[in-house]
Structure 1
Amino acid sequence: MGSPGLMRAREKMADEGVDPVAIDVFSHYYRLLEHGETGMIPESTIEPHDMESLADVDIDEQTARTALDGTAVIKLNGGLGTSMGMDRAKSLLCVRRGLSFLDIIARQVLHLRKTTGARLPLIFMNSFRTSADTVAALDRYDELGVEGLPLEFHQNKEPKLLVRDLLPASLPRNPDLEWCPPGHGDLYTAMLGTGLLDALLDAGYERVFVSNSDNLGATPDPRVAGWFAESGAPFAIEAVRRTASDRKGGHFARRKSDGRIILRETAQTLDSDKEALADLERHRFTSTNNLWFDLRAMKDEMQRRDGILGLPLIRNVKHLDPTDPSTPEVVQIETAMGAAIEVFEGATTIEVGRDRFVPVKTTNDLLVLRSDVYTIGEDFVLDQTAAQIPYVDLDGPYKTVDAFAQRFPDGAPSLAEATSLRVRGDVTFGKGVKVVGDVEVEAEKQPERIAADTVLR
Structure 2
Amino acid sequence: MKLGADELIQKKMAAEGLSSAFIQDFLKKTDLVRNGETGIVRWEEVGDLDPVTDEISLEQIEKENVPDPSILKNLVVIKLNGGLGTSMGLSSPKSLIELKDGMSFLEIVAKQSEFIQKKYNVSVPLILMDSFNTQSESQTELKRIGFRQKFPTSFLQHKVPRLLKENLTPIVCKNPDDEWCPPGHGDIWISLLETGFLDTLIANGYKVAFVSNGDNLGATVHPGILSYMLEEKLEFCMEMTPKTLADKKGGAIYKRIVHGKLESYQLLETAQVPQEHIHEFEGLGKFRTFSTNNLWIDLIALREKILQGNFELSLIVNPKTIEGKDVLQLETAMGSAIRNFNKIKGIIIPRDRFTPVKKCEDYLARRSDAYHLWENYSITMSDARKESGLGEVLITLDEKYYKRIQDFNRLFPEIPSLARCASLIVQGEVLFDQKVSVVGEVVIRNTGSGLRRISELGSGVLESGKYSF
TM range (shorter): over 0.9
Conservation of the 8 A alpha-carbon contact between 2:394 and 2:424:
yes
SS of the residue aligned with 2:56?
coil
Counterpart of 2:366 in structure 1 is 369
Which ranges in structure 2 are unaligned for 5 or more consecutive residues?
464-469
Give the counterpart letter for 1:21 in structure 2: A
Distance 1:42 1:369 in 2: 38
2:155 equivalent among 147, 153, 156: 153
Are the equivalent residues in 1 in contact too, given 2:250–2:269 (CA < 8 A)? yes
Residue in structure 1 matched with residue 460 of structure 2 by the alignment: 454
Query: Runs of 5+ in structure 1 lacking a partner?
Result: 322-326
1:439 matches 2:436? no
Q: What is the aligned-residue RMSD (CA, Å)?
A: 1.5
Aligned mate of 2:306, from 284, 302, 306: 302
Give how far 1:293 is off.
0.6
- Which residue of structure 2 lines up, in the alignment, with residue 21 of structure 1? 21
Q: How many Å apart are 1:21 and its aligned residue?
A: 2.5
1:424 and 2:430 correspond: no
1:289 maps to 2:293:
yes
Checking the alignment, whether the CA contact within 8 Å between 2:65 and 2:228 is kept in structure 1 is no
For residues 279-358 of structure 1, the aligned pairs below 5 Å read 279-305=283-309, 309-321=311-323, 327-358=324-355
What amino acid is the match of 2:223? P
C-alpha distance in 2 between matches for 1:67 and 1:338? 25
Which letter does structure 2 place at the counterpart of 1:210?
Answer: V
Residue 381 of structure 1 aligns with which residue? 378
Match of 2:467 in 1: none
Distance 1:208 1:16 in 2: 29
1:54, 1:118 → 2: CA distance? 23
Q: Which residue of 1 aligns with 2:256?
A: 255
The equivalent of 1:413 in structure 2 is: 416
Q: Distance in 1 between matches of 2:148 and 2:284?
A: 41
What is the alpha-carbon distance in structure 1 between the residues aligned to residue 222 and residue 269 of structure 2?
Answer: 26
Contact 1:185 1:311 in 2 (8 A): yes
3-state DSSP class of the match of 1:62? Answer: coil
Q: Displacement of 1:453 after TM fit?
A: 5.3
SS of 2:80's equivalent? strand
**Among 398, 418, 425, the residue aligned to 1:395:** 398
Displacement, 1:144?
Answer: 2.6
**Cα distance, 1:231 vs structure 2:** 2.4
Kept after mapping to 2: 8 A contact 1:182/1:335: yes
Q: What CA distance in whole angstroms lies between the structure 2 residues aligned with 1:191 and 1:44?
A: 35
Which residue matches 2:466?
none
Distance 1:241 1:24 in 2: 39
- Deviation (angstroms), 1:344: 0.6
- What is the rounded CA distance, in whole Å, between the counterparts of 1:379 and 1:347 in structure 2? 28
Match of 1:38 in 2: 38
Matched-pair contact (CA < 8 Å) for 2:13–2:161: yes
Q: Which amino acid aligns with 2:66?
A: E
Query: Aligned pairs, how many?
Result: 445
Contact 2:239 2:346 in 1 (8 A): yes
1:5 aligns with 2:29: no
Q: Which residue of 1 aligns with 2:71?
A: 67
In structure 1, how many angstroms separate the alpha carbons of the residues matched to 2:336 and 2:37? 16
Offset, 1:183: 0.3
Give the CA deviation at 1:276.
0.9
Distance 2:453 2:145 in 1: 41
SS in 1 for 2:409: helix
- The DSSP-based 3-state class of the residue aligned with 1:414 is coil
Tell me what 1:176 maps to.
177
**Letter of the 2:270 counterpart:** T
190-199 vs 46-55, greater mean Cα deviation: 46-55
Match of 2:195 in 1: 194
Q: Percent identity?
A: 38
What letter corresponds to residue 358 of structure 2 in structure 1? K
For residues 306-346 of structure 1, give each alpha carbon's deviation from its aligned partner in whole angstroms, at most 9, with x where no partner exists: xx52211100000125xxxxx20110000000001111112
